[in-house]
Amino acid sequence: KRWSDEVIPSLIQPYLRYQRLSRKLRDPVTPQLLICKNNCVCHHLKVVCINFDNMHSVDLVVCSCAPAAQQLIHMGYFPCAPLAPTLAVSLKVLTLVKQLFVRTPPNISAWCETFWVISWRHGV
């Protein structure tokens, strides 16, 4: 319920902004750091971020003004939990997965077409 009522609506504008700045995930974007504006009680959160070719950890300082989910979207990642995610997946990887599942059943033709579409969209 929290995903649909709180988290997803709060991510729509940051996601659309990231899509625009990255030219639909083609270009890298310098992350905008969200900073607490109200002197909230903040805590540190370590999140593993998954990319096509690597994984790395980021340390976030989160509070109600700068929730982890919004910070991750600003960095090009989607959180795997609504409040305190420990894992996030690159929006590019999620685009690949979406395209792959659109073209099911999973066979070699679906994989080839998916990779072609992703490559074309990212200007490769």
Confidence of residue 39 (pLDDT cuts 50, 70, 90): confident
Query: What's the full length of the chain, in residues?
Result: 124
Q: Select from 26, 94, 34 the least CA-distant residue to 58.
A: 34
Give every strand in the sheet of 55-62, ordered side by side: 55-62, 43-50, 87-90, 77-79
Taking phi over 0 as left and psi of -120 to 50 as alpha, with beta for the rest, 46 belongs to beta
56 found inside a domain: yes
pLDDT range class, residue 33, cuts 50, 70, 90: confident
121 in any annotated domain: no
* Bridge partners (DSSP) listed for residue 48: 57, 87
CA distance 69 to 34: 11
Q: Which domain holds residue 46?
A: 2-89
pLDDT value of residue 124: 57
Q: 59 pairs with which residues across the strands?
A: 46
Q: Looking at the 3D structure of the chain, how many domains does it have?
A: 1
For residue 107, being part of any structural domain is answered with no
**Would you place residue 94 in the very low, low, confident or very high pLDDT band (cuts 50, 70, 90)?**
very high
Residue ranges with strand state E in 9-64: 43-50, 55-62
56 has a pLDDT exceeding 80: yes
Q: Is residue 116 part of a domain?
A: no
In this prediction, residue 84 carries a pLDDT of: 94
Q: Would you say residue 105 lies in a domain? A: no
Residue 11 forms part of a structural domain: yes
The pLDDT confidence band at residue 104, using thresholds 50, 70 and 90, is low
More confident residue, 28 or 107: 28
Within a domain: residue 106?
no
Percent of the chain with pLDDT over 90: 60
Asked if 47 and 57 count as a contact pair (C-beta separation under 8 A), the reply is yes
User: What distance in Å separates the CA atoms of residue 5 and residue 106, rounded to the nearest whole number?
Assistant: 33
Asked whether residue 7 is assigned to any structural domain, the reply reads yes
